[in-house]
Structures are given as C-alpha cells and as structure tokens.
Amino acid sequence: MDSALNTIKQAVRDIPDFPKPGILFKDITPILNNGAIFQDAVRCFVEVNKGLNINKIVGIDARGFLFGAAAAYALGIGFVPIRKKGKLPYTTRSVSYSLEYGEATVEIHEDAIAPGERVVLIDDLLATGGTAFAASRLINEVGGVLVETQFLIELEFLKGRSLIEPCAPVRSFIRF
Ligand code: AMP
C-alpha cells in the first residue's frame, strides 16, 4: 500500500493561486483520470471501513462524493450526500459556519440517517476542518453516530485535525 500511496501523492497536482491568490489548490483530477490510481485511492477508504461495522458513508459536496460514493458502492452500504445550501430537494437540516471570507451553509436530508446508525464522513481533503466540523454537527443533529472522519489528503499545517478530533477520530491517507 505504501507504494500505492506514493503514486497517489505524486498524482496530486498543485495549482498556485486557485481559486484566489495565496491558495495552493490540491487538484485531485489526475487521480480520477487514471483508472489504477483512482482504484487505489478508493481502496484506501474501502479497506479501513471493512472493519468499522458502519451502516452508511456520508460524503461532503462535491469531491467527497467521488470517493465516498465509490467506497459505499464497494462496501454495499448506503451513501448520504451533504450538500451546499439549496441543492437538496427534500426537508433538510442546515448548519452555517465561517469561512476565511464570509459564511457557508451545508445541508443534509433529515431522514438520510436513522437514529443510531453508524456513519463515516468522507471528503477529499482536510484543510481548516470547518467544513467537516459543520458536517459532523449535521450528522449529530439527525441522530447518526459519527464513527470516524476520513480524508484522502490532509494539509497538516492548517491543523484542521484539532477542530475535528474532539468530535470523532480523524484518518488521512496522504499528508502535505
Ligand atoms: P476546510 O473546511 O478548510 O477544511 O476545507 C475543506 C474543503 O475545501 C474540502 O471540501 C476541500 O475539497 C476544499 N479545499 C480547501 N482547501 C483546499 C486546497 N488547498 N486544495 C483543494 N481543496 C481544498
């Protein structure tokens, strides 16, 4: 797995100053673009979740859907999308949180997780942790049990882990 992780890491493309000056964007589309590397990335999530006895995977809009839905399919369990405000058609619960500039709101369908169901939260990348923290609040609000949060990539210097760890364990596969 170590060489697979190295290959995944090398496939991540740095885009300076996207979407705004000063941000070094980690572009994961080269991972998606290569069948073997995409399979290895999804396999990371599948393997760790085999032993966790979970009922559902929750993915964060939008790149969390790519890995989360693929892993849920492989595990034969349900997938729950957490989306940006205004995208989910049925009755939702919402949580708003602060971004570097302004505010964002994320939503979940109120019936997407049955009370007591064990879920894992997946996103492509952990930066400041604000988004995953808001998502973990939504999971709690609908009665889900958040077993773990999982990220393909962790930007360690932003220390998002320290925001999430009081709520749930944090696992990442590659780190910058
Ligand atoms: P945060 O709430 O700061 O942890 O940001 C996490 C979300 O923003 C994730 O859904 C990421 O996809 C995206 N994101 C934040 N920073 C970056 C970055 N430098 N490169 C790529 N995606 C990022």
pLDDT digits (tens, 9 = 90+) for 77-135: 999 999 999 999 999 999 999 987 789 999 999 999 999 999 999 999 999 999 999 99
| Bridge pairing between strands 78-84 and 103-109 | antiparallel
Q: How far apart are CA 62 and CA 56, in angstroms?
A: 17
Least confident range of 13-27, 35-49, 72-86, 98-112 = 98-112
The rounded Å distance from CA 51 to ligand 1 centre is 27
The reported pTM is 0.97
Confidence (pLDDT) at 1: 64
37 lines ligand 1 (CB under 6 A): no
Indicate which residue's Cα is closest to atom 13 of ligand 1: 125
68 lines ligand 1 (CB under 6 A): no
Residue 75 has pLDDT above 70, yes or no: yes
| 100 Cα distance to chain centroid | 19
List Cα–Cα distances, 25 to 10, 113, 166, in angstroms. Answer: 14, 32, 27
